Structure 1
Amino acid sequence: MNYELKNIPVRTTKPRTEGFTMAMDKGLSPRQVEDFMSSCSDYVDIVKLGWSTSYVTKNLREKLDIYKEAGVPVYFGGTLFEAFIVRGQFDDYRAVLDKYGLEFAEVSDGSISLNHDKKCEYISQLAKQVTVLSEVGSKDAAKIIPPYKWIEQMQSELDAGAWKVIGEAREGGNVGLFRDSGEVRQGLVEEILTQIPGDKIIWEAPIKSQQVWFVKLLGANVNLGNISPSEIIPLETVRLGLRGDTFDMYLEDIKL
C-alpha cells in the first residue's frame, strides 16, 4: 500500500484461495487489458471472458498472453461450455482449452437442461485436464431453485472434482442468488453456508450493494465474482473498510 493506516483488516495475498476476486472481461481490447493489469493485477485472481465472448473476440491469443504475463489466469465463460455441449462437441471444447493453453474451465448449466449426474461427469472428466469451476443456479429468473437443491448440487459438484463452486447471478446480478430487483436472497445464502464451506464458494456479485452485503456478512476475504474491471479497486476499498459502505466495520477499538 502507498501509506500506513491502522485498523485495516488482513487481506490474503496471491495466490489466494480466500478473498478471491474474479473479474469479468466482456470484450476488452488488448490495450485495455494492458491498462487493466497495470493498475489491478494485484487484486485480480482470475479473469472470466464472459459467456461466449471468446468466440468473437479479435486478437484473443494476444489478450491471453497479456493476462498470462501479469500472472492472472483466464477461463472462458460457462455459456461457451454449454454451447459446445448442446451441439455434442465436448471433445472439441476440450481441444479449444488445449489450443489456448487454458488451465481453468467453467462447467455450468444455466442456459441448458442438463442431467445433474451428467454435469458431474463432465466435471470429473475436465478435472483431469484443468482446474474446474462449476456454476450452480439458473439464468432463468422464473426458475427458483430451493436452498436444499443448491446445497446438494454444490456438494456433489465439489465431490466430482470442482475446485470451487460459483453462485449464479449473471452479469446483471438479478437471478440466482438475487431477486430481480438485485436484492440478495439472504435466507438462501445463509442456508448454503450451513453446509458448504465459504472458501469453496465464489459469490457472483456484480453490483456494489451486493458486494457490500457479502463483505459485511463474511468479511474482507469473501470470494466474489463477476466484478467489472472498473470496479476492482473500488471493491478492494470496500473489503478494507475504506469506502463509506463498510467504513465502520474495523473501527471498534478506535476512540476519537
Structure 2
Amino acid sequence: MNYTLTQIPDRTVKPRQNGLTMAMDKGLSLRQVEDFLSTSADYVDLVKLGWATSFVTPNLKEKLAIYKAAGVPVYFGGTLFEAFVVRDQFDDYRRLIDTYDLAYAEVSDGSIEMQQDTKCEYIRQLAQQVTVLSEVGSKDEAKIIPPYKWIQLMRAELEAGAWKVIGEAREGGTVGLFRASGEVRQGLVEEILTQIPSESIIWEAPQKEQQVWFVKLLGANVNLGNIAPHEIIPLETIRLGLRGDTFTHFLNGKH
C-alpha cells in the first residue's frame, strides 16, 4: 500500500486459498493484458478466458505467457469444456489443457444437459491432471434451481475433487444466483451457506452492487469471480472499506 490507514480489514496474500478475485478476460489484446497486470496483478488470483473466446483469440500462446510471467494462472471458460464434451471430444480437451500448459480447468453444464454422475466423473478425471473449478447453475434464466439442489450439486462436485465450486451468474450477473434485475437471490445464498463453507465457493458477481452485498455478508475475503479487468482495483477498495458502499462497514471493529 502507498500509505498507512488504520482500521483496514486484513486481506489474505497470494497465493490465496480464500479471498480470491477471479477476473474475466473476454478478449483483451496483448497490450491490454500488460496494462491490466501492471496495475492489478497483486489483486487478481485467477483469470478466465470467457466461455470459448480462446478458440478465436489471436496470439493465444503469447497472451498466456504474459499472464504466466506475472504469476497469474489462466483457465478456459466452462463453455469451451461443454463444447468439447457435446462433440464427444473430451480426450481432445484434456490434450488441449496440456498443449497450453494450463494448471486449472473449469467443468460446467450451464449450456448443456448433463447427468450429475457424468459431471462428477469428468471432475474426477480432470482433477488427476489439473486443479478443477466446477460451476453450478444454469445460463438459462428460465431455469430456476431450488436451493436444496444447489447444495446437493455443490457438495457432490467438491467430493468428486473440485477445488472450488463457482456460483453461476454469467458475465452480466443476471441468472443463477441473481434475478434478471441483478438482485441477489438472498435466500438462496443464505441457504447454501448453511451447508457449504464459504471458503469453498467462488461467487460470480460482475456488478458492483453484487460485490458490495457479498463483502458485507461474508467479509473482505469472500471469493468473487467474473470481475471485469478494469474493476479489479475498484473491487479491492470495496473489500477494504475504502469506497462509499462499504465505507463504514469495517470501522471501529464492526466486522
TM-score, normalization: structure 2? Answer: 0.99
**SS across alignment from 1:133:** strand
- Residue by residue over 1:206-246, the C-alpha shift from the partner in whole angstroms, topping out at 9 and shown as x without a partner, is 00000000000000000000000000000000000000000
Counterpart in 2 of 1:251? 251
Q: CA deviation at 1:74?
A: 0.2
**SS across alignment from 1:132:** strand
Q: CA deviation at 1:251?
A: 1.4
Counterpart in 2 of 1:140? 140
Counterpart in 2 of 1:45? 45
Distance 1:119 1:183, change over 3 A: same
- Residue by residue over 1:105-134, the C-alpha shift from the partner in whole angstroms, topping out at 9 and shown as x without a partner, is 000000000011000000000000000000
Counterpart in 1 of 2:195? 195
The letter for the 1-side match of 2:190 is E
**SS across alignment from 2:169:** coil
**SS across alignment from 1:252:** helix
Counterpart in 1 of 2:24? 24
Q: CA deviation at 1:252?
A: 2.4
**SS across alignment from 2:235:** helix
Q: CA deviation at 1:171?
A: 0.1
Alpha-carbon distance between aligned partners in 2 of 1:250 and 1:52, rounded to the nearest angstrom: 39
Instruction: Note the 1:1-256 alignment, pairs <5 A.
Output: 1-252=1-252
The letter for the 1-side match of 2:99 is K
The letter for the 2-side match of 1:129 is Q
Distance 1:103 1:244, change over 3 A: same
Alpha-carbon distance between aligned partners in 2 of 1:235 and 1:172, rounded to the nearest angstrom: 16
Query: Which stretch shifts more, 243-252 or 48-57?
Result: 243-252
Q: CA deviation at 1:253?
A: 5.5
Alpha-carbon distance between aligned partners in 1 of 2:201 and 2:160, rounded to the nearest angstrom: 15
- Residue by residue over 1:14-42, the C-alpha shift from the partner in whole angstroms, topping out at 9 and shown as x without a partner, is 00011100000000011110111111000
Alpha-carbon distance between aligned partners in 2 of 1:53 and 1:108, rounded to the nearest angstrom: 16
- Residue by residue over 1:64-120, the C-alpha shift from the partner in whole angstroms, topping out at 9 and shown as x without a partner, is 000000000000000000000000000000010000000000000000000110000
The letter for the 2-side match of 1:104 is Y
Alpha-carbon distance between aligned partners in 1 of 2:40 and 2:57, rounded to the nearest angstrom: 22
Alpha-carbon distance between aligned partners in 1 of 2:164 and 2:10, rounded to the nearest angstrom: 22
The letter for the 1-side match of 2:222 is V
CA RMSD of aligned residues (A): 0.8
Alpha-carbon distance between aligned partners in 2 of 1:182 and 1:92, rounded to the nearest angstrom: 36
- Residue by residue over 1:126-171, the C-alpha shift from the partner in whole angstroms, topping out at 9 and shown as x without a partner, is 0000000000000000000000000000000000000000000000
Q: Runs of 4+ in structure 1 displaced over 6 angstroms? A: none
The letter for the 2-side match of 1:251 is L
Alpha-carbon distance between aligned partners in 2 of 1:190 and 1:13, rounded to the nearest angstrom: 27
The letter for the 1-side match of 2:158 is L
Q: CA deviation at 1:250?
A: 1.4
| Unmatched tracts of structure 1, length 5 or more | none
Q: CA deviation at 1:180?
A: 0.3
**SS across alignment from 1:43:** coil
**SS across alignment from 1:8:** coil
The letter for the 2-side match of 1:79 is T
